[in-house]
Structure 1
């Protein structure tokens, strides 16, 4: 196939459209490697390479997904332009990788990066375009829109507290009324300063707080007799992240839903 429209044939060695741990190699007409994908996978990662067309961008785009197929993972869009391979910068700050659980290409050439967490679904729509002349990258990914939609009501303490923080992080404060019915507790939580999610959301960890080498961490533990649990909520940054530790009391409402009856932030800081 002709990957860059110059009339010369390139080939792809390796399985496309499925998750595996083998390399996928783009070669020229003589069989010499031009690009190797999935060559640096960690011991717990898999890779998947799709060959797709993106209207208005390129007829042959390699989409390389790396990580856990069932979890949030990296997604990179690569295509051949002349004798070089290009990939847009800007899906996330200082990053040429998108992050989600999947992607979809719209007829107008925009790309949806999708994911879900604690019943919430996330759709970030991007447009890939030429970067400004002063940029060190030839192409950029521009965020067009972001949709965060609540889903089924949480059924575990971890999902409930994750949903609480997701509603706070993304400004869906009306959702907090069902998670934290007490207006005094809810207002105190809303008054807490929170960091902006600029990368991807992480689940809130629930259990028992212990001190680790690079900051607090959570060990598995059952709720106390009063329904109290300790938690760790982290906001991903370019390197490391900011965290909030706290204590929450979880009870069962009259209709059978799990609700937060008390919530206290104990500490906040930065961890690697």
Structure 2
């Protein structure tokens, strides 16, 4: 097919629309490779390449996903323009990759990046626009809206603490009151700086804190006799991330819901 509208026919060698670890190669009319996708993937990583149309942009956009299908992973949009491959910049800081578990393209060309975590649904909507005079990244992905919708009430300590931090990171104040009903404990938690999600949310790990090779780590463990669990909450960065260790007591509200009755941040540090 003609990938860039110049009248010449380009070809695609490899499986589209499915997850696998094999290369997908774009070739010109003479069979010369123009672009190789899924090249040198680590053993635990798979890739998927889709050929889609984005209204107002191109009828031949390649969407490359890389990672584990059911987990949050990278999503890259690329297409040919004037004999070169271009990819929009700006989904997240300092990268041309979006992060989610899937994507959708609306009839008006809006690109939705979607994902779920601890029962929450995340939808970020972008418009891809031409960048002002940038020869290296001629297109920008401009965020239009972001929605975080809670789902079923958390049923495990890990999901409860993950949901609590999600509510804090994304400003879901009503959810914070549900998960952390004590006003004094809630005020202390809200006074803590727990960072900002700039790429994608990471589950809070719950159990027993131990010292690992590269800093604090979590080993699986039930709550102690007083109902306390220890945890690590993490926010990823472009090169390094931040973590917060703490302990939380898990109890039961009058209506039977699992709630956090006490919470203490123990340490804040950096992880690379």
TM category (shorter chain) comes to: over 0.9
Moved more, 216-225 or 202-211: 216-225
Runs of 4+ that moved beyond 3 A: none
Q: Which residue of 1 aligns with 2:72?
A: 72
Worse overlay, 175-184 or 128-137 = 128-137
Q: Helix, strand or coil for the counterpart of 2:26? A: strand
Equivalent residue, structure 2, for 1:132: 132
RMSD: 1.1
Question: For 1:1-272, what aligned pairs fall within 5 Å after superposition?
Answer: 1-134=1-134, 136-272=136-272
Q: CA deviation at 1:134?
A: 4.3
Task: Report how many residues are paired.
Answer: 272
Cα distance between partner residues in 2 of 1:202 and 1:211: 20
Q: Aligned equivalents of 2:182 and 2:271: distance in 1?
A: 32
Query: How far apart, in 1, do the equivalents of 2:222 and 2:62 lie?
Result: 45
Describe the SS at the equivalent of 1:29.
coil
Relative to structure 2, which stretch is displaced further, 53-62 or 131-140?
131-140
CA–CA separation in structure 2 for the residues paired with 1:127 and 1:219: 42
Q: Distance in 1 between matches of 2:198 and 2:97?
A: 13
TM-score (norm. length: structure 2): 0.97
Q: Aligned partners of 2:266 and 2:26: how far apart in 1?
A: 52
Secondary structure of the residue aligned to 2:192 is coil
| Distance change >3 Å, CA 135–CA 29, structure 1 → 2 | closer
Whole-angstrom distance in 1 between the partners of 2:191 and 2:214: 28
CA deviation map 1:145-194 (0-9, x unaligned): 11111111011111000000011111111111111111111111111122
1:18 shift after superposition: 0.7
Q: CA separation in 2, counterparts of 1:82 and 1:188?
A: 56
The alpha carbon displacement at 1:40 in A equals 2.1
Structure 2 spans left out of the alignment, 5+ residues: none
